[in-house]
Amino acid sequence: MRHSILAILFLVFAGTVLAQTPAAVEREFIGYLDNISKYGNYGGGYDDEKLSKNNADLRQKLLKYGKRADILKYRFPGLKDKIYVTTSKDGRLRIYSWDLETGGTMHDFSSVFQYRGKSGKIYTWAEADDDESAGVFYHQIFQTDTTGGPIYLGVSTFIGSTSYAGQTIKAFRINGEKLDADAKVIRTTSGIKNSVGFGFDFFTVVDHPERPVRLFSYNEANKSFRFPVVIEDKRTPQGRVTSKFITYRFDGKYFVKVS
C-alpha cells in the first residue's frame, strides 16, 4: 500500500513538473499561427494539407490547454496581432478567434470559447463549422450583471469582401457548468433573439482609427448597448453607417429597444 501511494504521488509530481507553463503554451500557439500564415492563402506559400493540419492542431490545443485555470488567467502578450483574444470583465469567459487563411477577399475564422463553470472548473467549447455564427471573429465582450447571473454580449465582425462587412452582438450565459450560446435575451420586433446585427459598407467607416472598427458600444451605468443606423441606398447599396443610433436597454429580463 505504501509503495502504491508513493507511486501515485510521484506521478502527480511528475505531471506537475512536466506541465507546460502558460508562456510555453503561448509559444506553441504562435508556432501554429506562424504556419497558418505561411501556408495560407495570403502568405504566398499555400499548402492545403499543411494549412488544414495547423488549423486543426491549433483548435485542438486551444480546447485542450483551455481547460486550465492558469491559461484562462494568462494574458497571452505574444499573441497580439496574430489572434483575437477577448475576455469578459469578471474573467469567467474568454474567446479566441483566428483567421483560417482559407478564404480570399471573404475571410474565414474559427473561435474557441473558454469559461469557468459554477464549480470553478474550466471548460472549453467551439462552434461547429456549420454554425450560423461561424466565420466571424469576436473582439469585444460586454458584461451585464443581473440577479440571474451575468449576461455576456460578444461582439463579432464578418468580412464578406474588401468592402462588405457585418457586425453582430450575441448573448451568452454560463448556466452551472454549461455555456449557453443561445441566450435569448434581446427583444426585437420579430421576437426574442439571442443576437442582433447589421451589414455595412466598410468604406463608410474606413476613417475610424481603431481596428477592428468598433460600431457597438456599451453603457455600463444603464446596462444598454447601441449601434449605428445603417441606410441602404443607390449610393451605398451595401449599407451606409450613419451618425444616428439604435439603443437597447436591459429591463431586468430582456434588452429592449428604447431609441
What is the pLDDT averaged over residues 95-119?
97
What is the pLDDT averaged over residues 183-204?
97
Over 50: is that where the pLDDT of 17 sits? Answer: no
Contacts of 31 (CB under 8 A, 6+ apart): none
Count the alpha carbons within 13 Å of 211 in the hemisphere toward its beta carbon: 7
- pLDDT for 7 equals 52
Contacts of 200 (CB under 8 A, 6+ apart): 164, 165, 166, 167, 215, 230, 238, 239, 240, 241
- pLDDT for 157 equals 98
* Burial bucket for residue 110 (CB in 10 Å: 0-12, 13-18, 19+): buried
What is the per-residue pLDDT across 131-172, written as a single tens digit (0 to 9) for each?
655 689 999 999 999 999 999 999 999 999 999 999 999 999
What is the per-residue pLDDT across 207-219, written as a single tens digit (0 to 9) for each?
999 999 999 999 9
- pLDDT for 257 equals 98
Contacts of 193 (CB under 8 A, 6+ apart): 184, 186, 187
The contacts found for 18-23 with CB under 8 angstroms, 24 or more apart, are 20/65, 22/70, 22/71, 22/74, 22/76, 23/74
What is the pLDDT averaged over residues 187-216?
97
In angstroms, the CA 236 to CA 224 distance is: 29
- Provide the pLDDT confidence category of residue 3 given band limits of 50, 70 and 90: low
Over 60: is that where the pLDDT of 125 sits? Answer: yes
**pTM as predicted:** 0.91
- pLDDT for 133 equals 58
In angstroms, the CA 141 to CA 93 distance is: 9
What DSSP state is assigned to residue 252?
A: S
Cα Dmax for the chain: 82
Over 80: is that where the pLDDT of 14 sits? Answer: no
What is the pLDDT averaged over residues 191-206?
98
Over 90: is that where the pLDDT of 195 sits? Answer: yes
